[in-house]
Amino acid sequence: MARKYFGTDGIRGRVGDEPMNAPFILKLGWAVGKVLASERRRPVIIGKDTRISGYLFESALEAGLSSAGVDCLLLGPMPTPAVAYLTRTFRASAGIVISASHNPYYDNGLKFFSEEGTKLPDAIESAIEDMLECPLETADSAELGKADRIEDAAGRYIEFCKSTIPLGTRFSSLRVVVDSAHGATYHIAKRVFRELGAEVFAIGDEPDGLNINQAYGSTHPANLQQRVRELKADVGIALDGDGDRVLMVDAEGELVDGDELLLIIASARQAAGSLHGGVVGTVMSNLGLEHALRDAGIPFKRSAVGDRYVLEMLSEDGWVLGGESSGHIICLDKTTTGDGIVSALQVLAHMVAQRETLKTLKQGMTRYPQSLINVPVSKPVVLQDVPEICEAVSRAEHELANSGRVLLRPSGTEPVVRVMVEGRDENDVRRIANRVAEVVGAAVDG
């Protein structure tokens, strides 16, 4: 069912424009309280990243929840996966994260977790949207909600992160550069790795409300790569603004993406007998990951793009490991959502246990060259109904044979069709992608 405000990962927009303005967020807080919590009188947990607008939206949410007669527990700056974890441990009725993830400071958004620390079901999101159409009615003065702050939230989450690797594991042999993107992990990530014995050099850990994801973090790894080389570190860890994604850098400063990290974690789970099924990637996961898993005898499935869909497929099959090339990795045997710190810990623990470098571990996968072209379109199009496009895709797939693939995907957020071609030879991939993109552009808007 189409929804007006909720996307695949909550609600997001530019600060000041609906839905990301104070009046709407106040009403949304009230609607969430009425749907999720008012009858059971259990609190809602609220965390945020380091954007300056977080103060505004935290206050608006608090006012909306209070008007619905719901208490709230404030965490302050806290990674998205920490909010999911604390929602469970406090037995709250829901968790809300004020964050736009890897977007710039002038965007913001809201992510929601159920009492189990999982994404809200579609039916609940629809019920919240329905409630937004009702007039806001303030609870009786004696029934208004109260707010309290969880002072030890960071410490609780740090201890949880450390508990996800085997007891006794120490990183005392490792020099680690940690990049927190001036975001929600700025005060947490470096402590986790230091408390486990690593020599830690922190960058991207000085948020000012405006610099989140700016030149640092998983979307901008160049500074991290340079620091790893300068410091002769063993590994670099790049988190995004809300801490649910991670990319890594090996000792030579080479980037290790989500597909490669997913393979390393899957291999470690397989060796330990704890993989419990296969691995879920997305339609954008590199073909090299699929082939490497196949060679290891590990089943692999692809979901639509988005961690929501990865989670759905994992749940359907009873599997525990999945993720995206962007570094959004889900270890359901450890936690309920993507967690950048927890994912990095799994990789470091495997490095230490095997006494191997990150560079050696990532060699289990040979990346296939990819070419991604965004083709602007002026109107929505059903690609499979356009004969010229079907013919171009068929020709490309025949040319790539069994050594590549073609993916056409209308964007859910922009007026473009994404043309992705993947294969063994970079020149062939680029040539075929350009040819298919030209056909798509001419057929749609020609």
- Across the range 163-180, mean pLDDT stands at 97
* Mean pLDDT, rounded, of the chain: 95
Q: Residue 1 above 60 pLDDT?
A: no
Burial track 349-377 (b if 16+ CB lie within 10 A, e otherwise) = bbbbeeeeebeebbebbeebbbbebebeb
Q: Is 143 helix (H, G, I), strand (E, B) or coil?
A: helix
Q: Residue 40 above 90 pLDDT?
A: no
Q: Is 341 helix (H, G, I), strand (E, B) or coil?
A: helix
**Closest alpha carbon to 351 in 361, 341, 364:** 361
Q: Is 432 helix (H, G, I), strand (E, B) or coil?
A: helix
Burial class (CB in 10 A: 0-12, 13-18, 19+), 168: exposed
pLDDT digits 0-9 by tens, 247-295: 999 999 999 999 999 999 999 999 999 999 999 999 999 999 999 999 9
Q: What is the dihedral angle through the alpha carbons of 154, 160, 165, 168, rounded to the nearest 10 degrees?
A: 80
Tokens, residue 441: 């552009």
Residues 6 or more apart whose CB falls under 8 angstroms from that of 33 comprise 44, 64, 65, 67, 68, 69, 70, 145
Tokens, residue 317: 């099959």
Q: Which residues are catalytically annotated?
A: 101
Tokens, residue 151: 């002072």
Domains of the chain with bracketed CATH: 11-150 (3.40.120.10), 370-445 (3.30.310.50)
pLDDT digits 0-9 by tens, 217-239: 999 999 999 999 999 999 999 99
pTM: 0.93
DSSP secondary structure code for residue 286 in this structure = -
Q: Is 122 helix (H, G, I), strand (E, B) or coil?
A: helix
- Across the range 206-211, mean pLDDT stands at 98
pLDDT digits 0-9 by tens, 12-21: 999 999 999 9
Contact 109, 20 (CB under 8 A): yes
What's the pLDDT band for 3 if we cut at 50, 70, 90? confident
- Across the range 128-144, mean pLDDT stands at 95
Residues 6 or more apart whose CB falls under 8 angstroms from that of 210 comprise 52, 105
pLDDT digits 0-9 by tens, 59-92: 999 999 999 999 999 999 999 999 999 999 999 9
Residue 404's beta-bridge partner residues? Answer: 423
Contact 371, 400 (CB under 8 A): no
Contact 143, 34 (CB under 8 A): no
